[in-house]
A and B are shown apart, each in its own frame.
Chain A
Amino acid sequence: MMPDMTQHGKAETQQWQPVENTPVVMFDRVSKTYGRINALSGVSIGLSGGVTGILGMNGAGKSTFFKLMMGKIKPSSGAIRLFGTDPWKNPAPYSRVGFVPEHEKMYDWMTALDFITTFARLHGMTRDEASIEATRVLKFVSLDEVMHKRIGQFSKGMRQRVKIAHALVNDPELIVLDEPLQGCDPLARTTIMNVIKELGAMGRTVLVSSHILHEIERITEQIVILHRGRVLALGNSHAIREMLDQHPHKILLDCNQPRELAKAIVDMDEVTGLSFSNPAALLIETRHLGEMHKKLPKVIVDSGQIVTGIDNPDDDLQSILMYLTGGSA
């Protein structure tokens, strides 16, 4: 199902010109305190293009980050720019933004079409334009067949998709999704993840937050990790892992005779340590994961051992988060 994100039926006033070289979202040393509590401290981020996952534990500052970005709350210090404009007390940049709030509550009494049409009109569209646009976005999230049903009758997954559709109605440059997968069953989850991926593929800037790390892994590799109000890391998740050099990378090989295999591997320059975690596995520690992986297949094949599994036990988001936050799960 290909998206139809053409400008068909758009209000003329809604045309936007992309500003060159300005990040879509820019946080410059932004802090937010509630009383004694630092919700966000000194966050500096510039984001544009592609899907970015915002990760962090409960209370890490993800919601505060989004609220600041959407002008819901005022930063205690620092500057926020959305398309180069300050969003606090200024709704102008929102004509280029689509926001999917975390809250479960929706207007249950409206039909999906009505809901999106009404809120499309707040973008300055006329009634007719709005309903054309609403139909288009509902089609994009595959809800066009049920758009005349009341939202109250929808399942959670469908409600999330209505929320996403409503955020897409103005053909936004930036799409912000706060916990879009929460409470959805796997079917709806997969569908929504596909929608998000498609949006990213279309060149929009998409920000997604989630608690569930492997879901983010399935959508994107570009992540921002927030912890206790600070940005811990930003960029490609694998690259981030590579940069964490103080932790030796681990490669786990499953084989019948690990000691035999170890003899072949121990000669490689990159290996910093070998251990036998169980009788049928060999754990390699290295500080140069890429190099190691490049050479490894050949070494294994040459050694004549049968390796039935290769794993990097600490090269996933969970480990990154664990290492960065100093916690463990």
Chain B
Amino acid sequence: MSEIKSPGEPFEPEPTKNETFGSETPVTGQTKMQAAWSSDVENAESTAQVASMPTGQIFQQIYQPWNGTLNPRWMRNWAILRHHVLGIVSKGHRPWNVPTKLFIFFVVIASMTDAAMALLFGMIGDTTLYDIWGVNRDNMYGHVMGFFPRNILWYPIIAALLVGGMISEDRANGTSAMYFSRPINRFDYAAMKFLSVGLILFFVINGTLAVYYFVDILVMGKGWSWIIDTFPMFMATFLCGIILSFTYTSIGLALSSVSRGRFFPAIGLIAILMGTKSMAAIIDGLFDKSVLYVISPYDAVAHVCQALIGTEMTYDHPWVWSLISVVVMNGLALYLLANRVSSLEVTRE
């Protein structure tokens, strides 16, 4: 017993109304489904469904029980990780904003210029140009740690875009309540957020590195001796990529956890990376002392990587200092993160 009714018109009593008065409820059960949930957005052309029911209930609501079993902790954590990482490529997961997705796509393509160049000149057979672009120690280092443009324009900005709203948005939207009112503890929450950002950075940096390396092997038909020669180098660079992603992620997430907005962590990360780097550069230029580079996250990691990969050192101080600095910076950032995540509220007050 229902009919379509335009909402703007004045209410017309239904012919069936007197019948409904026969039941025990004095007020008619004239009901409108759409009206109950009419949103603020589409109003003009929406129509309402009018259903008449003697009990005064809106429509037949039946509670449907569910008797399944709930998966253990690691599945819950996997859900968080999947939510964030898959959000980059598909709908229905965390909605990353379009500029972020586009920028990551751009960086992935741009990061593979070295692979493309090596491929191109390898195919042409121009050995001089191939030697410039092909896999070697310096190019491997340069793929991960090169300053311009990779570590000034690409990787830190991806990190900044990723960490921007990672934790602060949960604070602002109140979605932190959704995590903590479910059987998810704070450690898992922070660890999975960390892994998500780290993993995306890892895919971008190390994924393209691997493409670069394996393209060279496959297409150039490198022999086993070459592979045995270069594989340790590749692994060292791979490790460097991990250290770099880890460091950017931990600093960025620490900043994200202290703020409410999306922009403070992003600007903060860029300010820390660029600010320390330029300070150290000024001091290096003025007084010829490179030791201040230990406070610059990029340079500290770069220095450690130079030692690991075995390229020429561009810093004067011992690399162990930089290693200590990397450890201390990550430790501080993780401490801040842990501290702040433990104070996230369930109810927003």
Q: In the complex, are there CB atoms of A and B closer than 8 Å? A: yes
B21 near A275 (CB under 8 angstroms)? yes
CB of B95 to closest CB in A, whole Å: 22
In chain A, what residue has the closest Cβ to B7?
A: A326
- Is there contact, CB below 8 Å, between A59 and B30? no
Q: How far apart are the CA atoms of A308 and B124 in the complex, in Å?
A: 103
Closest Cβ of chain B: how far from A4's Cβ, in Å?
35
Query: What's the least CB distance linking B57 to chain A, in Å?
Result: 11
Instruction: Kindly list chain A residues whose C-beta atoms are within 8 Å of the C-beta of B26.
Output: 250, 252, 277, 281, 283, 313
Contact of B43 among A59, A246, A323 (CB under 8 A): A59
Pick out which of these stretches binds chain A: B8-16, B171-179, B269-277, B284-292. Answer: B8-16
**Chain B's nearest CB lies how many Å from the CB of A229?**
8
Q: Find out whether the CB atom of B21 lies under 8 angstroms from the CB atom of A328.
A: no
- Give Cα A78–Cα B157 distance, bound, in whole angstroms: 48
Whether the Cβ atoms of A326 and B10 lie closer than 8 Å is yes
Least distance between B331 CB and chain A CB atoms (Å)? 33
By DSSP majority rule, is chain B's interface helix, strand, loop, or mixed?
Answer: loop
The interface residues of chain A lying within 8 Å CB-to-CB of B44 are 36-38
Distance in angstroms between the alpha carbons of A246 and B11 in the assembled complex: 9
Q: A277-B22, A277-B26 are in contact. Are A37 and B41 (CB under 8 A)?
A: yes
Chain B residues positioned under 8 Å from A273 (CB to CB): 18
Interface size on A, residues (CB 8 A): 28
Least CB distance from B26 to A in Å reads 5
State whether the Cβ of A247 lies closer than 8 Å to any Cβ in chain B. yes
A127 to B87, CA, bound (A): 54
Contact B24 A37 (CB under 8 A): no
Query: Is A324 engaged at the interface, CB distance under 8 Å to the other chain?
Result: yes
**B24 close to A324 (CB less than 8 A):** no
Known: A37-B42, A252-B26, A313-B26. A324 touches B11 (CB 8 A): yes
Which of the candidate stretches B31-39, B125-133, B302-310 sits at the interface with the other chain?
A: B31-39
Could you list which residues of chain B lie within 8 angstroms of chain A, going by C-beta atoms?
5, 7-13, 18, 21-32, 35, 38-44, 48
Q: List 12 A-B contacts (CB under 8 A).
A: A37-B40, A37-B43, A59-B39, A246-B10, A246-B12, A278-B24, A324-B10, A325-B11, A326-B7, A327-B35, A327-B48, A328-B31
Leading 7 A-B pairs by shortest Cβ distance: A328-B30, A59-B40, A326-B11, A327-B35, A327-B32, A323-B11, A313-B26
